[in-house]
Amino acid sequence: MTTPEDLTSPSASDRSPVVAGLLLAAGGGRRLGGRPKALLVHRGRPLVEHAVGVLRAAGCEVVHVVLGASADVVRERAELPGCVLVENPEWAAGMGSSLRAGLASLAADPRGVDAALVFLVDQPGIGAEAVARVRAAYGSRDSLAAASYDGRRGHPVLFGAGRWAGIAETAVGDRGARDYLAAHRDAITPVDCSDVADPYDIDTEADLSHLE
């Protein structure tokens, strides 16, 4: 795992809250013929670069990227300066393992992260404006917020650090944080992003038409 160097963690009383971007980019693209999603080309560069750029543009100075399938190739081809790269050897077990790995990495970051803004690498239709709206929903380390599209919950999702342990306990298989969110639906702050984003996934060959 790549870790930031020469960083200190000021006390909570003398700093602004740190809302970190957590990009899940470990998928192997099974329905795409085994092409890792992080390496799909969008606007001339790997999709993982595009997603990190969105998080940066939305105001996330701290960004952790969870890699899995072809992690070595992603490191070689993608330019991800300043990002903490987290390798998940259990990526094939599903999104839950990547979410757990990412939250563990954020918990160990010396900058003192107060919330994770979880973003998926295969949703290029969600841009910086939508991500910034969800980021702005942070209120405390118990915050729970999610983008909403025509009344349906989607990504990105914001998890205050006080909720990470509970999320990690329930993050199994491909369900990610779904079970935790279902159990705490009344605590979720919905953030309507219908007017600024299109939350499609790049899952199949047909979906590749969305890439530019």
> The tokens 């935790």 sit on which residue?
180
Q: What digits encode the pLDDT tens for the residues 41-73?
A: 999 999 999 999 999 999 999 999 999 999 999
- Name the token pair of 26: 């470990």
Angle at 106 between CA 79 and CA 73, to 5 degrees: 30
102: nearest Cα among 171, 46, 155, 191: 171
pLDDT at 14: 66
Given a contact cutoff of 8 angstroms between Cβ atoms, the answer to whether 121 and 166 are in contact is no
Question: 3-class SS at 210?
Answer: helix
pLDDT at 52: 98
Strand order in the sheet with 84-87: 84-87, 63-67, 19-25, 115-120, 152-160, 144-149, 189-192
Full-model pTM: 0.91
> The tokens 């757990």 sit on which residue?
100
- Name the token pair of 128: 């910086």
171: nearest Cα among 63, 112, 93: 93
pLDDT at 112 exceeding the cut of 70: yes
Average pLDDT value for residue range 95-124:
97
Rounded CA-CA distance 193/197 in Å is: 6
Rounded CA-CA distance 37/18 in Å is: 28
Rounded CA-CA distance 46/107 in Å is: 27
- Name the token pair of 146: 């999610």
pLDDT at 205: 87
pLDDT confidence bin for 8, thresholds 50/70/90: very low
Q: Where are the alpha helices (DSSP H) in 58-143?
A: 71-77, 95-108, 128-135
203: nearest Cα among 24, 37, 25, 26: 37
Neighbours of 183 (CB within 10 A): 11
